A and B are shown apart, each in its own frame.
Chain A
Amino acid sequence: MSDGSWVAQQLVRYLSELTPSPDQRPTRTSTLKVGAERAAEALEAEFAALVWQDKLVVDVGFGPKDRPSALLAPILAGSAEAMEIAGLTFHAAAVTVGEVGRLVVARSAEPFNQEEMQLLRGLGRILGLSLRSVDALVAERSLRRESERRAKESLRDPLTGLPNRTLFLDRLETAAAKAQRRSTSIAVLFMDLDGFKLVNDTLGHATGDELLQAVATRLAEATRSGDTVARLGGDEFAVLVDDLQDRQQAELVAAHLLAAFQAGFSVAGRDLHVSTSIGIALGPSPDEPPGLMLRDADLAMYRAKETRSGGYRVFSEDMRQELVERIELEKDLRVGIDDGQLTVVYQPVIELADHRLGGLEALVRWRHPTRGLLTPAEFLPTADDAGLMGTIDNWVLEEACRQLAAWRSDFWVSRDMVVAVNLSGDQLSRVGLAHSIQAHLDRHGLPATALYLEISETAIFGAGSRADTSIKNLTDLGMQVALDDFGIGYSSLSRLRELPVGALKLDRSLVAGVDQDPRLQAVFKGIVNLTRDLAIDIVAEGVETPGEDAFIRSTGCAHAQGYLYGRPMPAEALEAHFRVAQEGRISIDEDGYLLLAPHDMPMDAPLTPRFGQRLRVGDVDFGDRLGEVGAVVGEETVGAGTHGRGQVD
């Protein structure tokens, strides 16, 4: 055929061959290859080549010994119209494809006539257009993939690949609807990892992430294929179990999951043992949206944690009531802080050698307008949940510093007497903590040595490396740090060596009945000996009996605290003590001399000339700071500086 219809047919056919069917996914490479090959077929050529941006990207028909680039170069340059291969002549023709491509075909039969060149140009143009359409398709595919990936990611937790909260809630809705139709039950199991923050802070976030991935895998393995395991965020996971017949089945799943945690997790070359507590909510309820099951399970988990780490609890309505109460308490607490309902009580810390008052621990209380005086255990967990711990810590610090300064001013208290304030873990992680506390001291003219900061072991370990920095900053400024509640947490003696703590407060569990229990005595002595070597003071907490006092004193332990010496008491009650003691320590003897007790004299010792210092009243100018006299006299130096003149007899 040579009436032009042949060209048209070939072009239509070529276009059809380059047009992908719906199930094909052409790429630029495959289109170039098919385009070159089909062009050669249309022209009954043996060779086809495509050069794209001066690079040979397709060559068809060349043998292993042929050098296509060299053979094609003169054709592309327009300096030759044929190739010589194996002694045979192949007539060649080249046309443009798109903006930067060249299509070359060559055949042995005969040179390309005008009609064939017309066809070849048309093929080149169609191929160029096809490439543009393929590029657009590829770009569209890429966009679609990206969009699908994003859509998938929006429903998946990127770290673990588990469904996220959105997908979990969606599946929960579906499962609830199905359960209602079939009259079966579903359960939501909510859990987080005990001590995950510690892993993150001490071993780094990369290890924390690896642990989360390992936990995700473990949970997926421990559940049925139809159950949904989701990561809700942070270290919170949830499992949706459907088609349940009774509550026991859900509890079995929880027990199974807890068992799966018993084997450690091999993460970053370490074996980590992580436990979890599980809250279970059963449903669906016809009266409530299924999403609320997640909240209920969360509540139940907190109850499980309170009861025992590594256990599970099933949600019940009373938990919800507690939640309501907790919310109300939080509201009241915010009001209470603003309205000055918080108060500080002080518990004496005595020096065991002579039972002299060595310091006072400031403890917060809340005078609730309707519920009366609340202890920290009754409202600090709520404060913690509400993020109010920092506010409360600051308030106690300020109040304790103000009070100590007032006592120093108004009473004859020893300059060695310190006030101890508890710091929460959140505070320990705060940047600028040391300077913030220094500001409290400065505001009341107190030296840094007047303040002891008590930090629980749990808080220190919870704050990770940040704790070391904070403690060092505090001690650098001269404040002292005591490790609180030692004995109920990690009790890491090796960690003690690394921390610049000045004192260790031994929990009552190591003190109660220590005089009766040889094993406890051995532990106690061991700790005392060790801390002595480290120059760390010991404060035994919760001393309640003379027997405990006697044993503790016998070990060389320096300080103690407990009901035996004094309960936590309001500042006014302490002041009464100070007043009595002070009156007992300043008297005028029969010769008219002022009789002063030295500052280290036991509070309860009778003040007599034998124990006291005699000053001639006329020689002493006490000014308005009578409290200073005790210290000055104790050093047997009177009359320096602002303390006026005096003479020791």
Chain B
Amino acid sequence: MTLPLVPTATLSPTTRWAGVGASNLSDSGAAGREAAAGALDGREAALVIVFASDDHDLEALVETVRTCSGEAALVGCTTAGEIWTGQAGANGTVVFALGGDGLAVSASVSPRASADLRAAGANAAAGALAGQSGAHQVLMLLTDGLAGDQNEVVRGAYSVAGAAIPLVGGCAGDDLRMARTRQIFGDSVLEDAVVAVSITSDAPLGIGVGHGWVKVGEPLVVTASSGTRVASLNDRPALDVYLEQLNPPAEAHSDPVAFTHFAQTHPLGLDRRTGVSIRFVAGADFNTRELICIAQVPEDGLAFLMEGDAGSVLDATDEACREALAGLGSHSPLALLAFDCIARRGVLGDDGIGGEARRLSAMAPGAAVAGFYTYGEFARTQGMTGFHNQTLVVLALA
């Protein structure tokens, strides 16, 4: 089902603008008010995006944001950490606002997505893209990464958007509780939903992707897998191979929490023609000796064990930013939207993520920067596939 469209907000002030506001207040209503005020600064926006911790009373937060956002398309999701201009943190609230002339925004949502993720992606995309066209257009997806294989969401969205419209976005988080994530659409707070936002601009849009992981050891054949569960690598139990080759701390051999913590920095890399596609290892089944990933791992393919460090992750941040900004050509960046994998946050640590945020801002001085740590990222600019793990996706707006 696709809910009614939020009315398209095409505004005509003299210039396009972007603003970001953040709040660390624990009172959800107050946090929403503070962050929205910072982002909007009294201006009338076409699009307002909320990235907030799952700790918040999201309904109360959305209600106060809505009092400031007026007729703007209001979307958002819960996070595993928030990013805003020059800073990053956890358990907070970030509001991003976009307005001005030469800009058209339309949003849509498909609830109960897990019943048919492909259809959910297609329906949400169709709702957001209906009647929208322009020289520079992007479709942003905010989804529930716990609802199933997000490649299907991309396939559905792509079947509607086609090659001409790139896809970006991320899967909502819940501060690594892995229990539930929520999506915001208008006044509604939903779970198991796909929110799609079409942004059409007179100015160019740029998208960059980077991960910063390196291969460990020889390639492995995925000898048995089903959906997101990898049963065996090289005909041996996948968990055993993973533990033997990466040699994690002893507690990760039996403690699920310790294992997940370790796995954040040790994803699987799937061999692709043009490189490696990262698969976040979310957990393990210690009885069946299976690895449990966030996205599908096809059987019979080649996979690598991967690892990263702070240096390589930050290098990848620069790389993604540069690629995104390159898409703007001669135009000055107005804003950067960052969809950064929770695993990269794990590598950087709580102290390191501030450095990453500063790097983002430094790459685009004066631009509003907003984003969140995700459970999966979307970026499709070439080909048809576009779901990533342990990757940073940056959307640059001019």
Chain A positions within 8 Å of B, measured between CB atoms, are: 1, 5-6, 9-10, 12-13, 16-17, 37, 40-48, 60-64, 66, 85-86, 90, 107-109, 116
Known contacts A9-B300, A16-B300, A63-B164: A37-B382 contact under CB 8 Å: no
Query: Which of B158, B162, B272 is within 8 Å of A66, CB to CB?
Result: B162
Chain B 37-75 interface residues, beta-carbon cutoff 8 Å to A: none
Q: How far is the CA of A13 from the CA of B159 in the complex (A)?
A: 22
Known contacts A60-B158, A60-B159, A61-B163: A13-B301 contact under CB 8 Å: yes
Q: How far is the CA of A10 from the CA of B270 in the complex (A)?
A: 12
- The residues of A that contact B302 with a CB separation of less than 8 Å are 5, 9
Asked if B274 is at the interface of the complex by the 8 Å CB criterion, the answer is yes
> Per-residue CB proximity of B356-398 to A under 8 Å, as 1/0?
0000000000000000000000000011110000000000000
Residue of A whose beta carbon sits closest to that of B221: A9
Q: How far is the CA of A109 from the CA of B382 in the complex (A)?
A: 8
Asked if B237 is at the interface of the complex by the 8 Å CB criterion, the answer is no
Chain B 255-293 interface residues, beta-carbon cutoff 8 Å to A: 271-274
Q: Do B271 and A46 touch (CB < 8 A)?
A: no
Can you identify 29 A-B contacts, CB atoms within 8 angstroms? Answer: A1-B271, A5-B302, A6-B273, A9-B302, A10-B273, A16-B298, A37-B155, A37-B384, A40-B384, A41-B385, A42-B273, A44-B273, A46-B163, A47-B163, A48-B384, A60-B384, A61-B158, A61-B384, A62-B163, A63-B162, A63-B163, A63-B165, A64-B162, A85-B163, A85-B164, A86-B164, A108-B163, A109-B382, A116-B273
Query: Which has the most chain B C-beta neighbours within 10 Å: A6, A13, A48?
Result: A13
Q: Do A9 and B162 touch (CB < 8 A)?
A: no
Q: How far is the CA of A265 from the CA of B385 in the complex (A)?
A: 62
- The residues of A that contact B383 with a CB separation of less than 8 Å are 40-41, 44-46, 107, 109
- The residues of B that contact A46 with a CB separation of less than 8 Å are 163, 382-384
Asked if B319 is at the interface of the complex by the 8 Å CB criterion, the answer is no
Query: Could you tell me the distance in whole angstroms from the C-beta of A437 to the nearest C-beta in chain B?
Result: 75
Known contacts A9-B271, A16-B300: A41-B384 contact under CB 8 Å: yes
Interface of A is mostly: mixed
Query: Which of A61, A107, A116 is within 8 Å of B162, CB to CB?
Result: A61
Asked if B299 is at the interface of the complex by the 8 Å CB criterion, the answer is yes
Q: How far is the CA of A46 from the CA of B155 in the complex (A)?
A: 11
- The residues of B that contact A44 with a CB separation of less than 8 Å are 272-274, 382-385
Query: Could you tell me the distance in whole angstroms from the C-beta of A90 to the nearest C-beta in chain B?
Result: 8
In order of increasing CB-CB distance, the 10 nearest A-B pairs are A46-B163, A44-B383, A61-B163, A12-B300, A63-B162, A63-B164, A13-B298, A61-B162, A41-B384, A40-B384
Q: How far is the CA of A447 from the CA of B75 in the complex (A)?
A: 103
Query: Could you tell me the distance in whole angstroms from the C-beta of A230 to the nearest C-beta in chain B?
Result: 39
Residue of B whose beta carbon sits closest to that of A115: B273
Residue of A whose beta carbon sits closest to that of B380: A46
- The residues of B that contact A6 with a CB separation of less than 8 Å are 271, 273
Residue of B whose beta carbon sits closest to that of A109: B382
- The residues of A that contact B271 with a CB separation of less than 8 Å are 1, 6, 9
Residue of B whose beta carbon sits closest to that of A15: B300
Q: Do B298 and A17 touch (CB < 8 A)?
A: yes
Residue of A whose beta carbon sits closest to that of B135: A86
Chain B 91-144 interface residues, beta-carbon cutoff 8 Å to A: none
Query: Which of A9, A40, A62 is within 8 Å of B301, CB to CB?
Result: A9
- The residues of B that contact A1 with a CB separation of less than 8 Å are 271, 273
Q: How far is the CA of A6 from the CA of B155 in the complex (A)?
A: 23
Query: Could you tell me the distance in whole angstroms from the C-beta of A45 to the nearest C-beta in chain B?
Result: 6
Q: How far is the CA of A129 from the CA of B299 in the complex (A)?
A: 20
- The residues of A that contact B165 with a CB separation of less than 8 Å are 63
Query: Could you tell me the distance in whole angstroms from the C-beta of B165 to the nearest C-beta in chain A?
Result: 8
Query: Which has the most chain B C-beta neighbours within 10 Å: A48, A60, A62?
Result: A60
